[in-house]
Structure 1
């Protein structure tokens, strides 16, 4: 039976997302911003984040996966391409968790091929335990050293995304 150890409360998440949204609004004022959520994990975070950004912006999604259970396979599979034109626009990739950095590195390389003005990363969780690639995270709601996290969009084999808080999962 899995054990869920509470890490970050719903209220703490909402407060931090509000702060990050205000910072993004200031930093991107006057720019042509596209928030690009990385599916599936970022959908809850992105929904809350976009409501906290007080400026016009577009929303898009890209799908990529490299996980089976709790381990990265090392193989990146793109499951959804962007729908919008990225040329000469400012792209903010919205991710649930930056872990090894492998998937996000491949996504960033792909986005650069679309000739945007800029590409930056906003993540709910910046986790350092298994980092293999240096990822320039511009906005991180929370930084963790270790653990396998679920809830608020984060999953284990497609389960537990619906939990409203963030937990360390012990199997």
Structure 2
């Protein structure tokens, strides 16, 4: 498949198929179920918009009661991080004493998740963990690692399964790398 990006033709190379993702989500949810059990409520904090598809598939495989909340952070313009992090929506107010699982689409430089975790620490939660569909260790600028990682990828720009390019291609059922044609 090819797509047009700013007057440049790009090839789309599938990195993780729909079935790859489904199987990995099953494994991640089994681990989360083991770690949290079925008794305590888990607050799922979905980082919009990128993690929405991943989170909805993951949550349906969790055994414990869940509360679902969302937050929106903006740090990308086109294919590059702007370096500025904006909290577009406020954090949920009542997180005191609760277990929180942040669902992220990708840990790239780590700036966004580092920013979000620092904000969440002010909420007096019982625990905070991060589950990310993708991790780009080569791009990390902060010494942090998600607690649950779907897949590690190289330092490339990817689209699909919630990840976008200027708001487009989130609906692709797979994760794909963009390569100049």
TM-score by length of 1: 0.96
Equivalent position of 2:43 in the other structure:
34
TM-superposed deviation, 1:142? 0.5
Equivalent position of 1:130 in the other structure:
139
Task: Report if aligned partners of 1:69, 1:156 keep a CA contact under 8 Å in 2.
Answer: yes
Task: Report if aligned partners of 1:98, 1:104 keep a CA contact under 8 Å in 2.
Answer: yes
Q: What are the residue-to-residue correspondences of 1:18-29 with 2, within 5 Å?
A: 18-29=26-37
Larger gyration radius, structure 1 or structure 2: 2
User: C-alpha distance in 1, partners of 2:93/2:54?
Assistant: 20
Matched, 1:165 2:174: yes
Task: Report if aligned partners of 2:103, 2:131 keep a CA contact under 8 Å in 1.
Answer: yes
* Alignment partner of 1:91 out of 82, 86, 100: 100
Structure 1, unmatched stretches of 5+, are: none
Residues 84 and 60 from structure 1, CA distance in 2 versus in 1: closer, same or farther, beyond 3 angstroms? farther
TM-superposed deviation, 1:54? 1.2
Equivalent position of 1:7 in the other structure:
15
Equivalent position of 1:73 in the other structure:
82
Deviations, residues 113-147 of structure 1 (Å, cap 9, x unaligned): 11101111100001123210122311001011221
Task: Report if aligned partners of 1:120, 1:136 keep a CA contact under 8 Å in 2.
Answer: no
Structure 2, unmatched stretches of 5+, are: 1-8
Task: Report if aligned partners of 2:40, 2:64 keep a CA contact under 8 Å in 1.
Answer: no
- Deviation above 6 Å: which 4+ runs of structure 1? none
Equivalent position of 2:162 in the other structure:
153
User: C-alpha distance in 1, partners of 2:149/2:43?
Assistant: 18
Corresponding pairs, count: 171
